[in-house]
Structure 1
Amino acid sequence: MGKKLADLHFTNRLYKSAPFLFAKVNPTALSNPKLLHVNTQMLHRLGLDESMIGNPSFLRFLNGDLDFEGLFFGASFYSGHQFGHYVPRLGDGRAITIAEIKNDYNEHFELQLKGSGLTPFSRMGDGKAVVRSSIREYLASAHMKALSIPTTEALAIITGADDVYREEVEKSSIVLRVAESFLRFGHFQYFAHTNQLEELKTLVEFAIENYFSAYKDHPNRYVLFFQDIVKRTAKLFAGWQSVGFCHGVLNTDNMSILGLTLDYGPYGFINHFDQDHVCNHSDHEGRYSLGNQPSIGMWNLQMLGIALESLIPEVDRKRTLETYPQIFLVEYRRLLLEKCGLYKQQAEDEDFLRTMLNMLVFTELDYTQFFRGLSRYEKDSKKIAGIETPENLINWLDSYDARLNLEETTQADRHAKMLLVNPKFILRNYLAQMAIDDLSLVPKMYEVMTNPFTEWSEVEEWAAPAPLKYRNLSVSCSS
C-alpha cells in the first residue's frame, strides 16, 4: 500500500546541515491549476499511492499551496560562469526546494517546484515558467532516463491560467523536479568566491557524507570527491555525444556534482552529425556547440577545482583534471562501438570510428535513423534499410564488414543488442513543439519517449526528421 502525502518521511538533510545555503521563500501558487501529466514510475519510487492523483491535496502539493508538517521552502545561493564570464550571484530564480524525502528503500529525493514564483534570486525575472519550457523539461528528463543517461527527473507538470510575459504572452506552468541532489558547481563557487570557507567546507563534507560516502573516512576524501565528480562528468558528456544531445547552456551553474543532466533550457538532438551544431540561438559565438561540449566539461571542472583550492592542493587538482580526456574518450569510444554492435575492442577502433563520423558529416544522413538502420544491417549486403547509400557510406560499410569479421556474436544477437541501444525515437525539437502546440499529445509523447526503442508503428512519422513546417524551429534561453 502506497503512502499518502502526509505519510512521507521528510529528512531535509541538506537544509538541516547547511541552512546557510538557502533563503526562505514561499511559493506563489498558480491560479486555476490543472494537472497535465504525472510520472507514475516516479510516484511509485517515492512510495506514493497512484490513487491519490485525483485527490485535490495532490494538486495543491504540486502547486506549492500546502502546509504539510516537515516541508521547508528555500531558494539556494549559487554563482557561476555564464558563457565564460563569472557572475557572482545567481541562485534559484525560478526553483524552490520544498523538501527532501526518504522512501522505504532508503533512497533520498530532493523535490523542487520550478516556476513557482519570485525568489530573492529572480533578478529581473518573474520566477515563473511557461508551458513551453516546462513541457520540454518534463519530456526531456524522462526521455534521457530512458536513454540511460544520468539526469534529474520530474514527478508531474501542472498548468495555470496566469499570463506570463516572454517574447509574447504565454500561460504559466510548474514542474515538480526530483533528484538525489540539485547541488551544482555554482554552489561551491559561490562560497569560495565570497570567502565563506567554513561554509564551503561544510557543504563539501555534507556532499561526501551523503553522496560519496565511500570516501567519508578517507584522509584524502576531498581529492577523491573531486576525482569522482570528474569521472561522472566525463561519462555524462560521453553519453550526450553518443546520442547527439546538445545541452545548449553549459554554464557552471548548470553542472551537477553527481553528473546529472541538469536544467533543460535550449537543448536539442542533432539531425545529421555536425560538430558545429548550436542548439541555442542565443549562443552567437557557438561556445556550446556539439563539438565543444567535451572541452567545456573540462573547463567547467577547472572552475570547480579553483573553487575547491582551499581544500585540495594544486598538484592534486591538476593531476585529477588530466584524467578527464582519457575517461571521456574511453567511454565515448565504448558507447559508439556498442551502437555499431562491436564488443571486442581493436587497436584500429579509433580510426574506424573517426572514419564513420566523417562519413556521417559528408553524407548528412540522419544520425538516429542511421544507427537504427544499422541495427538490422546484414553483413556484406552493402545496404541499410530505409537509408540512402551514397558512395561514402558504401565505402565505410566495406570497413564495417571487415570489422564484423572480428566479432564472435551471431548476426541475430548483434541485431538484438543494437536495437536496445539505438533508439528509433529521439525527442527532436519539433516533436516537443507538437506537444506544446497540442497538449492532448503529451501523454502519448511521454509514453513514446520513455520507451524510445519500441517500434510504435502507430506514430511511425515521429521517427522522421522535422517536416518542412518545423524545419527552421529554434530555441533560446527564454523560458
Structure 2
Amino acid sequence: MKLSEVTLSHHYADLGDAFGTRIEPTPFQHPKLIHVNPAVLQLLGINKSEAQNPDWAQLGCGQKLFPGSRPFAMKYTGHQFGVYNPDLGDGRALLLGELENGGRRWELHLKGAGKTPYSRFGDGRAVLRSTIREYLAGEALTGLGIRSTRALSIVGSDEPVVREQIESGAMLIRVAETHVRFGHFEYFFYTKQLQALQQLIDFICRRFVTDATELPVGDQAEALLRFTTRRSAELVAGWQAVGFAHGVLNTDNMSIIGDTFDYGPYGFLDDYEPTFICNHSDHTGRYAFEQQPGVVLWNLNALAHAFSAFVSVEALRDCLEEFQPQLIDAYAAQMRRKLGLQTAEDGDQALCADLLQLLTDASADYTLFFRALAHYRGERPPAALRELMPPAQHDALERWLDHYDQRLAREHSDSRERNRAMLAANPKFVLRNYLAQKVIDAAAEGDYRPLQTMIELLQKPYDEHPQHETWAVAPPESGKHMPVSCSS
C-alpha cells in the first residue's frame, strides 16, 4: 500500500463523547523529518519504500492529516504512585485513527501534538530526548520478544520546549493495537458511568477476548480480567528476565492487553542490582526493578475494583490469584531458556536464585554475563565469565558452575546445540541508558546515523553484528545510574 492510499477508521472515537474529546493537533511550523521506521511501515501494510515520502514531515507533526483522520484525545484516570488522580487523559497526544492490515487493527497516536482538555498545566509537547527514548524502547522490547507499543516516525522542530531545561520539540506517531489503559476503566467506574464502562468492556472483548463477546457484562468483565492478568504476568516475567525496569508503573501506564506502554524513565540493568531505581522521582523505590511483579499485581487489583460493579468479590479474587502462578511459570520458562535447560527440575529455581545472588554480590553486568554463559562449554578456568567478576567472587562462581555442570549433565544435551539456543535467548545488545543518551546527543546536533545504527541493533539484538562491538560493551561508571525523570 502506498502512503497516499492510507485511510483511517475510528472504532474507538465512535464510542461516543464520554470517551474523550475531538480536537485538532497543534502542528510545528517548520517540521523536519528525523526517522521513519520501515519495520512498522511493514506492520501497517505500507510499502517500505514509502519511508522516503516527503509527506512524513507534515503527517508526523499534525500539519497534514491522513485521509479519514479525526484526532481524538482519550479521557482516563488512574492511580499514580498509589494515589488516585481523577484529572488524567491524553494531555499531549491524539488518537489519529486506526488502520487495518492482515486482520489486525492498529491505532496511530500522535504524541507531542499540543494542548488538549486534559493537559492540565502542561504544554502538550514532547521533546526530542523523550521522543527518541520512546522510539528506541519500542524496538528494543519488540526485538527481545516482549510485547510493546512501537513508533512509526519521529519529526523534530526548532520549537523550544521547557522541561528541566530548554529543549527542542518533537513528535512521534505511536502504534498499538489499543491505547486503552487500566485507567480508562477506572475513570468510568469512579465517575459512576456504568453504561460507558459496560460499553468499553464489550468493545475490548469483541477485539481481544472474542470467546466472551456474547456473554453478559459480568462474565465479559471476568473474562477480560483473566485475560489481562495472564498477559500482565507474562509481560512482567519478560521484563524481569531481560533486566528491564519500566520506572513508572501507574495504572494509567498499564495496557489492558499487556503491552509495554508509556515509556518514560525506563532503564535496562547494567550491573545486576535488584533494587535498581531508574526514575529519579521515585524516592521510595515503589517502582524499583525487584518491585515490578508486586506493583503489577497491585495495579491489577485496582483494575479488578473497577470491575466490581459487575463481578463478585469472590470471582475477582479468583482471577487475581492466577497472577502469581502464571508469573512464576512464565519467568521460570524464560530463565531455563537463558540457562540452556531443556527440561524442568525441582532444583532449577534454587540454581537460578543462587546465580542471581552471585551476580548481585559481584555487581556483574547482567546482559554480558548471560551472553558469556551462552558460550560456556565447561572450560576451566572459565576465563570469559571470570573477567566479568571481581577476584573475590571467583570461588563462588566456580561453585555455582559445578552445580550448573551437574544439572547440564543430567540432560545429556549437546553443548553446541545448547550454546546456539542460549545465544538466541541472551541478547548481545540492549538499550542501555548511556547508549540512548549517545543517540540523543548526536541527534541534537543533526546527526541521525547513531539513531539508525541503534535501531538496527535493537531489532536484531541476538545477532553478533561484529562491526558494532563497541555498542555491546559495559558502560563506563559515568554511564551507570544516569538520572532519568518522568519528563524523559
Question: Could you tell me whether the CA contact under 8 Å between 1:152 and 1:177 is conserved in 2?
Answer: yes
TM-score of the aligned structures, taking structure 2 as reference length: 0.95
Matched, 1:134 2:131: yes
Q: Which one-letter code corresponds to 2:138 in the other structure?
A: S
Contact 2:2 2:50 in 1 (8 A): no
* CA displacement 1:47-103 (0-9 Å, x = unmatched): 223333333323221111224441111111111110011101200111111011112
Q: Pick the aligned partner of 2:169 from 167, 172, 175.
A: 172
Code of the aligned partner of 1:354: A
Contact 2:270/2:480 (CA < 8 Å) preserved in 1?
no
CA distance, structure 2, for counterparts of residue 17 and residue 279 of structure 1: 37
Counting aligned pairs with the same residue, the percent is 40
Q: Is the 8 A contact 2:82 2:250 kept in 1?
A: yes
2:116 maps to 1:107: no
- Which sits farther off after the overlay, 80-89 or 466-475? 466-475
Give the distance between the partners of 2:267 and 2:112, measured in 1 at CA: 21
Give the equivalent residue in structure 1 for 2:40. Answer: 42
1:65 to 63, 66, 73: 63
**Which residue identity is paired with 1:165?**
V
Q: Distance in 2 between matches of 1:384 and 1:357?
A: 19
Letter in 2 for 1:409: S
Distance 1:240 1:361 in 2: 17
Q: Could you tell which deviates more after superposition, 468-477 or 167-176?
A: 468-477
Deviation at 1:181, TM superposition (A): 0.3
Tell me what 2:115 maps to: 118
- Deviation of 1:177 after TM superposition, in Å, equals 0.3
1:160 to 148, 157, 171: 157
**1:150-171 deviation per Cα after TM superposition (whole angstroms, max 9, x unaligned):** 0001111111110001111100
Tell me, yes or no, if structure 1 residue 446 matches structure 2 residue 455: yes
- What value does the CA root-mean-square deviation take over the aligned residues? 1.4
SS in 1 for 2:134: helix
Which residue of the partner structure matches residue 365 of structure 1?
364
- In the alignment, structure 1 segments of 5+ residues that lack a partner are none
Question: Equivalent residue for 2:440?
Answer: 436
| 1:204 equivalent in alignment to 2:208 | no
In 2: Cα distance, 1:62 partner to 1:68 partner: 10
Q: Is this contact kept in 1: 2:73–2:116, CA < 8 A? A: yes
Number of the residue aligned with 1:96: 94
The structural deviation recorded for 1:380 is 5.2
Contact 1:376 1:384 (8 Å CA) reproduced: no
Structure 2 SS opposite 1:233: helix
User: 1:27 and 1:9 mapped to 2: Cα distance?
Assistant: 18
Which residue of structure 1 lines up, in the alignment, with residue 50 of structure 2? 52
* CA deviation after TM superposition for structure 1 residue 469, in Å: 4.0
- Is the contact between residue 26 and residue 115 of structure 2 (CA under 8 Å) also seen in structure 1? yes
Amino acid at match of 2:471: W
Deviates more, 1:139-148 or 1:375-384: 375-384
2:248 alignment partner in structure 1: 249
For the pair 1:28 / 2:26, whether they are aligned, the reply is yes
Counterpart for residue 416 of structure 1: 420
User: Is residue 111–residue 176 contact of structure 1 (8 Å, CA) maintained in 2?
Assistant: yes
Structure 2: gaps (5+ residues): none
The residue that corresponds to 1:464 in the other structure is 473
1:207-356 correspondence to structure 2 within 5 Å: 207-218=204-215, 220-356=219-355
Post-superposition Cα deviations, 1:377-417, rounded to whole Å, max 9, x if no partner, equal: 01253515264361111111011001101224311110111
Name the CA distance, whole Å, in 1 between partners of 2:46 and 2:16.
28
C-alpha displacement of 1:9: 4.2
Q: CA deviation at 1:464?
A: 1.6
Give aligned pairs, total.
476
Q: Distance in 1 between matches of 2:461 and 2:222?
A: 38
Q: Which stretch shows the higher mean deviation, 450-459 or 90-99? A: 450-459
Moved more, 254-263 or 114-123: 114-123
1:381-396 correspondence to structure 2 within 5 Å:
381-383=380-382, 385=384, 387-388=386-387, 390-396=394-400
Candidates 140, 145, 151, aligned match of 2:142? 145
Q: What amino acid maps onto 1:185 in structure 2?
A: F
Q: Secondary structure at the match of 2:139?
A: helix
Of residues 284-293 and 268-277 in structure 1, the stretch that sits farther from structure 2 once superposed is 268-277
Pairwise CA distance, 1:217 = 2.5
Contact kept? 1:28, 1:116, Cα under 8 Å: yes
Equivalent pair of 1:370/1:387 in contact (CA under 8 Å): no
After superposition, the C-alpha distances for 1:125-147 in whole angstroms (9 at most, x for unaligned) are: 10100000000000010110000
Separation in structure 1 between the aligned mates of residue 250 and residue 121 of structure 2, nearest angstrom: 19
Q: By how many angstroms is 1:19 displaced?
A: 4.2
User: What is the match of residue 189 of structure 1?
Assistant: 186
Deviation at 1:262, TM superposition (A): 0.2
Judged with a 3 Å threshold, the aligned counterparts in structure 2 of structure 1 residues 67 and 364 are, in CA distance, closer, same or farther, namely: closer
For residues 65 and 324 of structure 2, the distance between their equivalents in structure 1, rounded to whole angstroms, comes to: 48
Q: After alignment, is 128-137 or 23-32 more displaced?
A: 23-32
Structure 1 CA distance for aligned equivalents of residues 460 and 211 of structure 2: 34
For residue 285 of structure 1, give the secondary structure of its aligned residue in structure 2.
Answer: coil
Structure 1 residues 346, 67: CA separation in 2 closer, same or farther (over 3 Å shift)?
Answer: closer
Structure 1 distance, partners of 2:329, 2:238, is 11
Structure 1, residues 409-431: CA drift from partner, whole Å, max 9, x if none?
31111011110110011100000
Q: How many angstroms does 1:343 deviate by?
A: 1.6
Letter in 2 for 1:461: T
Q: Bigger shift: 187-196 or 408-417? A: 408-417
Q: Are 1:380 and 1:401, in contact at CA under 8 Å, matched by a contact in 2?
A: no
The one-letter code sitting in structure 2 at the alignment partner of 1:410 is: D
Query: 1:67/1:281 Cα in 2 relative to 1: closer, same or farther (>3 Å)?
Result: closer
- Which secondary structure state, in structure 1, belongs to the residue aligned with residue 329 of structure 2? helix
Counterpart CA distance in 1 for 2:420 and 2:145 is 17
Q: Which amino acid aligns with 2:198?
A: K
Distance 1:304 1:3, change over 3 A: same
